[in-house]
Amino acid sequence: MVKTQRNQLKNFQVSWKCDINGPGSLLLLIPRKCPMSLAKHTLDLSLTDKVWFKYVTLKNKNELNDNSQVSLKSIAALGMLSGGTEFLFALLVFALAITASFIDGEYPRYIAFPACLIAFLIIFFTKRVMLYKKFGFGSQWVMDVSKNQLTISPKAIKTKVTGTQKIAREDITEITFHYLLLNDRKGGRIKTTANLCFAEILLKDGTKVELNGTRIGFFDLLYLLIFFDYPLVYRNTSAGGSSDIAIILLRLLSLSAIAAGLAKLALN
């Protein structure tokens, strides 16, 4: 019995996820795939599969038909500048948080707190202005999906392109979604969650179009591509999208640091 359990555990990669709301932690069991599973493969996914499509946000998805043309909008909160620019802004926020900790007690609260708050707001709104100039205000159109064609905004493509890209279905060899399945073990039960790392379109002329996951909701896109029966393949891998994840983590850490610094100034 013990030997059998050990053999079963060999199929999983174990890691821990800390709970930011308390000292507890969650055990993550990530399935280890054999080398063959790292290659491209097909999946028979149902559009009612909660593991994959629980968070699909498409309106009127139950009214889709072969003649539908669905417009996808950007995810406003995930708009990103270049990696270097994001790092610079995060560094400025970290520096301000450190400054706040040093001046705590050195200056009266009515001077130190407003000064640091105003400095942070200047950094924050400067970055907002740059994001608005690059992506526009709020959610913007990024892609149209129909049975015969994909129409893609240049903002939704990783590489720099000129103008809107129209890709006929007949010109597509395959569309690859790189994914990772996470198993959270909690309360004696295992809950599986699918994560899409990135997606790319391979054309028959050999061109690859890598889509920007911070602009397009990949689960919405996958839902539509399955519905319209596009040539889809999958690859189980955590590769890709790491730079975007790093930027998001950098944002969270810098905001946490300045929030802690400002709170300390305001309360002391």
Provide the pLDDT confidence category of residue 1 given band limits of 50, 70 and 90.
very low
High-pLDDT (> 90) share of the chain, %:
26
Beta strands in 109-169 (DSSP E): 141-146, 149-152, 165-168
Matching residue, tokens 């689960």: 219
Nearest-CA neighbor of 179 among 9, 33, 11, 5? 33
> What is the mean pLDDT of the segment spanning 195-199?
84
Provide the pLDDT confidence category of residue 229 given band limits of 50, 70 and 90.
very high
Q: Is 211 exposed, middle or buried (0-12, 13-18, 19+ CB in 10 A)?
A: buried
Provide the pLDDT confidence category of residue 248 given band limits of 50, 70 and 90.
confident
DSSP state of 25: E
Q: Is the pLDDT of residue 30 over 50?
A: no
**What confidence tens digit (pLDDT) does each residue in 66-103 have?**
999 999 988 765 566 776 888 888 899 999 989 888 88
**Cα angle at 181 between 246 and 236, to 5 degrees?**
85
**What confidence tens digit (pLDDT) does each residue in 101-125 have?**
888 778 888 888 888 999 999 998 8
pLDDT of res. 143: 94
Full-model pTM: 0.64
